[in-house]
Structure 1
Amino acid sequence: MVLFVLCIKAELDGVESLSLLKNTNICFSVRNPLSDYETREKIVFDPSETLEQDEGDREPPHHFAVRWEGQKKFSTLIVLDEEGAKSAFKKMKKKGGKKKGGGGGEADVPRDMTADDSGEYVPVLAMECRGVEPYAFHPLGNEFKVTSSGGAVFEEDVDLSEGDWGDYDEENDEAVGVNEFESKIISV
């Protein structure tokens, strides 16, 4: 099992928090860690739903599965909930796991991005992977929720696929924006 963390970075303008929604489709590109040429581009799944399994399956419930060429077993990806992520990070620390893919606090337990994090990478999603490696995140639109500094919530049409999003908080007479959106996936 390898733990991967999706980290996002953006400049927040008039935004209190940027949150990854738990019950919407998300899109990743994945590869076979044992092969340079086997990839699956832009796979889409809902982290709130696991795939149906046969009664005799030994694998735990998972969100995505692929059988790479020449492999007998499926490779799986499981999106961890908050408790699962805390437990996985605790296990990694006990085993002496080292943070890969960058320094700083990037490999912490996933959380919402806040105004204080503007311009810094923040972990928003943890995935437990067996035989599959996510390497790119592709925003589809509508997978993020924005809460303005005044408390207005924007859940629809928050599309970061172009790297920028903006709206207007009429109640507080304030422009709201997420700019220069970037993402990266690190292994822990």
Structure 2
Amino acid sequence: MVLFLLCIKAELDGIQSLSLLKSSNLCFSIRNPLSDYETREKIVFNPSETLEQDEADREPPHHFSVKWEGSKKASTLIVLDEDAVKSAMKKVKKKGGKKNDSEVGEPRDVTADDNGEYVPILAMECRGLEPYAFHPMGGEFKVVSEGGVVFENDVDLSEGDWAEYDEENDAAVSVNEFESKIIAC
């Protein structure tokens, strides 16, 4: 089991917070960590739904699985909830996990104080697969303006930028220079 964190950074203007919606589809590219050529581009799963399993399955409930060529066992991806993240982070710290990324921490919302800094927003436990790219499709983020207005139906960061107008507070709001990366802990 390897813990991976999806980290994002962006310039927020007029925005209090940017967060990932727990019930929206997410799109990642994954690879087989034991092979240089086996990849799956742009797989989509919903972190609020686990896959159906047979009663004989010994694997814990998971959000995505793939069986690589020549493998007897399926590789799985599990999106961790808050309690599971705390437990997994403790295990990583005990084992002396990778410390080269200063932003390793528990997933949280991105705030205006984080402008230009990578912030972990999602934790995934992976067995036999490695996510290496996140692809925003639109609709997976929620924005809260500095005035408290929530935007969640039309937030599309697939082009790297998003802008809207907060009519209640007569202010423009925007997310610019959106970037993401995935780090292993």
TM-score class, shorter-chain normalisation, is over 0.9
Q: Report deviation, 1:50.
A: 0.3
- In 1, Cα distance between equivalents of 2:138 and 2:96: 37
RMSD of equivalent CA atoms: 0.7
| Aligned equivalent of 2:47 | 47
- In 2, Cα distance between equivalents of 1:103 and 1:68: 29
From 96, 108, 130, the equivalent of 1:111 is 108
Counterpart secondary structure, 1:37: coil
Once the two structures are superposed, residues 24-78 of structure 1 have per-residue CA deviations (whole angstroms, 9 ceiling, x without a partner) of 1000000000001100000000000000000000100000000000000000000
Scaled by the length of structure 1, what TM-score is found?
0.97
- In 1, Cα distance between equivalents of 2:63 and 2:118: 25
Counterpart secondary structure, 2:86: helix
- In 1, Cα distance between equivalents of 2:86 and 2:104: 11
- In 1, Cα distance between equivalents of 2:91 and 2:37: 32
- Which amino acid is 1:95 matched to? K
Q: Report deviation, 1:103.
A: 2.7
| Aligned equivalent of 1:93 | 93
From 129, 132, 135, the equivalent of 1:132 is 129
Unaligned runs of 5+ in 1: none
Identity across aligned pairs (percent)? 78
- C-alpha contact (below 8 Å) 2:80/2:125 kept by paired residues: yes
- In 2, Cα distance between equivalents of 1:8 and 1:53: 32
- In 1, Cα distance between equivalents of 2:88 and 2:101: 19
| Aligned equivalent of 1:9 | 9
- C-alpha contact (below 8 Å) 2:29/2:133 kept by paired residues: yes
- Count how many residue pairs are aligned between Structure 1 and Structure 2: 185
Scaled by the length of structure 2, what TM-score is found?
0.98
- Which amino acid is 1:21 matched to? L
| Aligned equivalent of 1:83 | 83
